[in-house]
Structure 1
Amino acid sequence: MEKPEKIFARDREWQGLTRFTGLPLGATRGAAALGVVSGRRRQGKSFLLQSLAEACGGMYFAATEATEAESLRLFNASLTRQTGVVADAPFRDWHEAVAHLFRSFRDRPAVVIIDEFPFLVRTSPALPSIIQRELGPGGAGQTSSARLVLCGSAMSVMGELLSGQAPLRGRASLELVIHPFGYRDSAAFWGITDPRLAVLVHAVVGGTPAYRYEFTQGDRPADLDDFAPWVIRTVLNPQTPLFREARYLLAEESAIRDPALYHSVLAAIASGNNTNGGIASFIGRKSDQITHPLNVLEDCALIGREPDLFRQGRSRYRIVEPLITFYEAIMRSRWAELEIHRAEQVWSATRETFLAQVVGPHFEALCRAFALDSGAELFGDQPGEVGSGAVSDPQRRTQIEVDVVALAPRQPNTARRIVSLGEAKWGETIGHHHLNRLTRARDLLSLRGYETGETVLTLYGGTGFTDELTAAAARDDRILLVDLDRLYRPL
């Protein structure tokens, strides 16, 4: 099936879905197949799956927050509309409903999509086990041609469906996570061609598709001069849905039962306290007391844990959703003022905080994504791992923070090769002293046993480079300068 024109990007996702729905019967030994689609809210999962159902004539059922009895009635009605066959009697439970579903599709592959699946699991916890039983030996799924897709936004629930000893573990032929748009696709989706403006907008709303139209009424900054007015009239405006969205993202996760604690953890990360000890100190708790909230936020795909590539056992936490970072760093402490429409005063007072705590770290993350996507073109060698790391300098009794580290894939019995070490600066012109820091880090890592003979020293500049550094890079192919135009150049 060709991807409908109304779907922006999502080529890989569409290919994965169409491959799954078109599986020949022999691929599943003549039985039904199961697919699981997940992703945080507002990423366009429902839009994508509705388009799939329309394209192949499949069934799309969107569950609601309802009792089990009402959900069964709604599901029965949807199944009847799809097949034209009325069940002999109303479904008494999900045992009957799932078995009837599989028996309704026997002759050809038929797509059946159940969206918002966590709503059903909340009132019927045994539902995954029932599906597993019907897919297994002796179940109705063994003689069915249904391609059943379960979709949901509650990441803690969806993540558990196929993990560990979960009933559906090993049953899915498709596991698809719908991520936000990458920064290049996001700029194209917003229709922004100025890379500086694209970084600023992405630092606020990220790559979530719904924020482009539904949450901003199609409003976008016309140019750099319009960025601050755009922030004031959209995300800082209590009359727009975007204003409270960061709060709702936490409230919608059933695993988060103490919002105050979780907001404090997120505020710590947004302010730069991104280690376990730093977070604990910021919120006034012991380190072992924040392990659970950190795990919950990670399971909900609201934060990510990124290992320090040079210090084993050390890691840092990063907020995955830029809008939450913006809320915690800019909005949360000034909420009362924003609610009475003092957005101009708040933005004027917090603009430097925005540049330091929001845009700066976000730019570093974009540079790491760029190094991973474009590594082969940039360095002549595709990295096996990209992240950040701290290098100890015993002689100077300090730590050198390396923003972008690209490592070659591990090879047995050989030193780990460093493809590139990178420094990313958003608000200052990069000069020779930044290059010297990378050179020092490279030399120290070489003494520690890393292979650095071909390491490229890469400087990522949001503001530009000195003439002296530009001349040095022209003479040495192991010095690479990446500006905003290069960052946003299509692959």
Structure 2
Amino acid sequence: MIKPPEIFDRDVEWAELLRFATDERAGATLGVVSGRRRQGKTLLLYELARATGGFYFGATEATGTESLRRLGQALGRYTSAPGPVHLADWSSAVDALLALGRDRSLPVVLDEFPYLARASRDLPSVIQHALTPGRPERTGSRTRLLLCGSALSFMGGLLAGSAPLRGRAGLELPVAPLDYRAAAAFWEIDDPSLAAQVFAIVGGTPAYRREYVQDDAPSGRDDFDDWVVRAVLNPARPLFREARYLLAEDPDLRDAALYHSVLAAVAEGNGTRGGIAGFIGRKTTDLHHPLTVLEDAGLLIREPDPLRSGRSRYRIAEPLITFYQAVMRPAWTALEQRRGADVWRRSQRRYASAVLGPAFEEIVRQWTVRFAAPETIGGIVAEVSPAVLTDPASRTSLELDLVALGEPPIGDGPRPLLAVGEVKWGRTLGGADLDRLTKVRKLLVARPGLDARDTRLLLASGAGFTDDLVAASRDRPDVILVDPTRLYSGD
């Protein structure tokens, strides 16, 4: 079946859903679809049900009794019954859903499943029992039951550990934000530098263009500042309060003040536990719970340092939250008074250092692992992250914006270190930056556990490169220069 034109990108997700929904094998099966709000999950599942003649039910916040009644009404309409289907409890409701697939493979979607499960705590166990191997209601059905939800902490626990549904699912599909290249195409922005600036604010969430700014995209670089004021810093636009709502929507984020402070600390560049603790005035031991909750909610990402065992840094997963914490939250009163133009004019340096710079670094890391050719990097990149290298001679720490590791070797050999990189948005990179990376590589060659003999030196800049660096890159295949144009169209 051809993907509906209403769905942008999402080719992989559509193919996986279609494969699951049209599986002709006997026996009902379970699938789980998750992702933060506004990524297009509902559109995917609704169009899947429509294309295959399946059943779609979107849950709302309601009591278990009301939800059963609404489900019965939806089943009555779907089966052309003379009235609503009476569902005495969730056991009979799940059996009724399985009965829909008696004659053929049929997707049955329960969207916003966390609403149903919170009102009826035993629902996952009920579904587990309904899908018991050998149970006639299961073996005689080809229902493809799809549970979908946006509360990542809840959805992540459905199939984890000792959860009732662990081992029952045949599909576990995350719907992530669009990558930076797909986001540029979605926003219809051809200028790579402009695309990077827009991505640094709104990321790859599709709804932020369609519903939240009514398709208002910057027409060019000269329109970018005006677009930020009228579309993002404008109290009349839904995007204005979206970052606040992202925290309020997850029921596990109960202490909003604490979580906002943790995110503000990370947005300010404090990525370590100690840095976060010092920023918010708490002990490091007090941060385990809030950091874990923010990770489970998909708002924070913990990145282990590949050069320092047991060390890691945190970064914010949603660019809009970074922009809110760095630019909007400190000037919230002025923004509510519609002084967005003044706030934006005063925030240029802060935006460049706390928002655009880190976002550009992440774009370059995405390019390295997803779009750069193996011949460019020197192999297949398995993981890429920032790191800190200690120079034993000078006893100083060298921060590296990018460290790209190859696949782990079979056996006890050293792991290939494919590239180290310097990434700067607003600074022209030159020979001094290349010398610094050369020194870093010499230090890493002597480091046990890593093979750095053929490590490439990657320099990425949004402002360009000096003539001497460009000339050096022509003569040295180990030097990789990356500008916005290459990020968005090259390998």
Q: Same fold (TM over 0.5)?
A: yes
Alignment partner of 1:471 is 2:471: yes
User: What residue number does 1:397 align with?
Assistant: 395
- From 72, 97, 102, the counterpart of 2:98: 102
Q: Deviations over 1:438-484 (max 9, x none)?
A: 11111111111221221110101111000000000101101111111
Equivalent residues in 2 for 1:38-53, closer than 5 Å: 38-53=34-49
Which amino acid is 2:168 matched to? R
Alignment partner of 1:182 is 2:169: no
Give the aligned length: 487
Q: Offset at 1:87?
A: 8.5
- Does the CA contact (< 8 Å) of 2:425 and 2:461 recur in 1? yes
Equivalent residues in 2 for 1:382-393, closer than 5 Å: 382-393=380-391
Which amino acid is 1:41 matched to? R
- Does the CA contact (< 8 Å) of 1:134 and 1:142 recur in 2? no
Alignment partner of 1:358 is 2:332: no
User: What residue number does 2:145 align with?
Assistant: 148
User: What residue number does 2:483 align with?
Assistant: 483
Distance 2:82 2:96 in 1: 11
Cα 1:12–1:88 shift into 2, 3 Å: closer
Identical positions, percent: 52
- Does the CA contact (< 8 Å) of 1:184 and 1:490 recur in 2? no
Q: Deviations over 1:87-129 (max 9, x none)?
A: 8972121111111221232121011111000000111011011
Q: Offset at 1:139?
A: 5.8
User: What residue number does 1:232 align with?
Assistant: 229
Distance 2:351 2:402 in 1: 21
Distance 1:490 1:251 in 2: 39
Q: Offset at 1:82?
A: 1.8
Which amino acid is 2:416 matched to? R
Which amino acid is 2:463 matched to? T
Secondary structure at the counterpart of residue 245 of structure 2 = helix
Distance 2:488 2:110 in 1: 37
Q: Deviations over 1:49-105 (max 9, x none)?
A: 111111111111000111111100111111122223468972121111111221232
Which amino acid is 2:163 matched to? A
Distance 1:19 1:490 in 2: 32
- From 280, 299, 302, the counterpart of 2:299: 302
Q: Provide the TM-score with structure 1 as the length reference.
A: 0.97
Bigger drift between 448-457 and 424-433 goes to 448-457
**Structure 2: 5+ residue stretches without partners:** none
Equivalent residues in 2 for 1:375-454, closer than 5 Å: 375-411=373-409, 412-449=411-448, 450-454=450-454
- Does the CA contact (< 8 Å) of 1:118 and 1:152 recur in 2? yes
Cα 1:308–1:185 shift into 2, 3 Å: same
Alignment partner of 1:202 is 2:199: yes
Secondary structure at the counterpart of residue 422 of structure 1 = strand
User: What residue number does 1:168 align with?
Assistant: 165
Root-mean-square deviation (Å): 1.3
Secondary structure at the counterpart of residue 108 of structure 2 = strand
User: What residue number does 2:258 align with?
Assistant: 261
Secondary structure at the counterpart of residue 381 of structure 2 = coil
User: What residue number does 1:128 align with?
Assistant: 124
User: What residue number does 2:16 align with?
Assistant: 16
User: What residue number does 1:317 align with?
Assistant: 314
Q: Deviations over 1:132-188 (max 9, x none)?
A: 100003262232110110001011110110111111111111110000000000000
Alignment partner of 1:290 is 2:279: no
User: What residue number does 2:87 align with?
Assistant: 91
- Does the CA contact (< 8 Å) of 1:221 and 1:227 recur in 2? yes
- Does the CA contact (< 8 Å) of 2:110 and 2:147 recur in 1? yes
Bigger drift between 83-92 and 408-417 goes to 83-92
User: What residue number does 2:338 align with?
Assistant: 341
Distance 1:416 1:255 in 2: 39
Secondary structure at the counterpart of residue 384 of structure 1 = strand
Which amino acid is 1:6 matched to? E
- Does the CA contact (< 8 Å) of 1:375 and 1:383 recur in 2? no
User: What residue number does 2:3 align with?
Assistant: 3
User: What residue number does 2:52 align with?
Assistant: 56
- Does the CA contact (< 8 Å) of 1:72 and 1:91 recur in 2? yes
Q: Provide the TM-score with structure 2 as the length reference.
A: 0.97
- From 247, 250, 256, the counterpart of 2:247: 250
Cα 1:253–1:139 shift into 2, 3 Å: farther
User: What residue number does 2:70 align with?
Assistant: 74
Which amino acid is 2:64 matched to? E
- Does the CA contact (< 8 Å) of 2:378 and 2:456 recur in 1? no
Which amino acid is 1:20 matched to? F
Cα 1:368–1:89 shift into 2, 3 Å: closer
Distance 1:141 1:86 in 2: 26
- Does the CA contact (< 8 Å) of 2:76 and 2:84 recur in 1? no
User: What residue number does 1:458 align with?
Assistant: 458
Distance 1:39 1:291 in 2: 23
